[in-house]
Amino acid sequence: MKSNVLKKRLSLWAMLLSLAIAGAAYATSNGVDLSVSPEVSGTAEGQVRMPKEQDRMALNYVNQPPMIPHSVDGYQVTKNTNRCLQCHGVQSYRATNSPRISPTHFMDSDGKVLGEVAPRRYFCLQCHVPQADAAPIVGNSFTPAPGFGQ
């Protein structure tokens, strides 16, 4: 029994490795330089200096998760604690003058309203990212939706 499980796992890893190699070969053959490092400012290569606090940036499209206008260095978000909710939680947002967490964050995947933040919305940094005025790592031609991004 263990032998079959081991064979399946090895097959899966071999397939994933093959896909990664094929993807890199395809990108390289189509002129994509995989060794490009971003041009960023900061103290160490590859790190962007995050401002402690700044104005909120405009959204670029409907339902875009707002970006975080402050540093999150040292913030702890684990299954037992969420530093973001100390300021943005339902009981604390008024005292800290912070935006309140959206009511949608209290709904489970079936639309049922919960008494606390839904597990799928608990890890804030999976959708909300710190904003930085940094050069894009990969160039793109994205333009904000009409009426957005101003």
The band of 39, judged by pLDDT with boundaries at 50, 70 and 90, is very low
pLDDT at position 100 over 90: yes
- Residue 140 among known ligand-binding residues: no
- Residue 128 among known ligand-binding residues: yes
* pTM of the predicted protein model: 0.58
What is the rounded CA–CA span in Å between residue 136 and residue 40?
9
Summarised one tens digit per residue, pLDDT across range 45-74 is 556 565 566 777 888 888 899 989 888 888
22-26, 38-42, 53-57: segment of lowest average pLDDT: 38-42
Query: By C-alpha distance, which of 33, 61, 46 is closest to 132?
Result: 46
- Residue 87 among known ligand-binding residues: yes
pLDDT at 114: 94
Q: What is the mean pLDDT of the chain?
A: 80
- Residue 72 among known ligand-binding residues: no
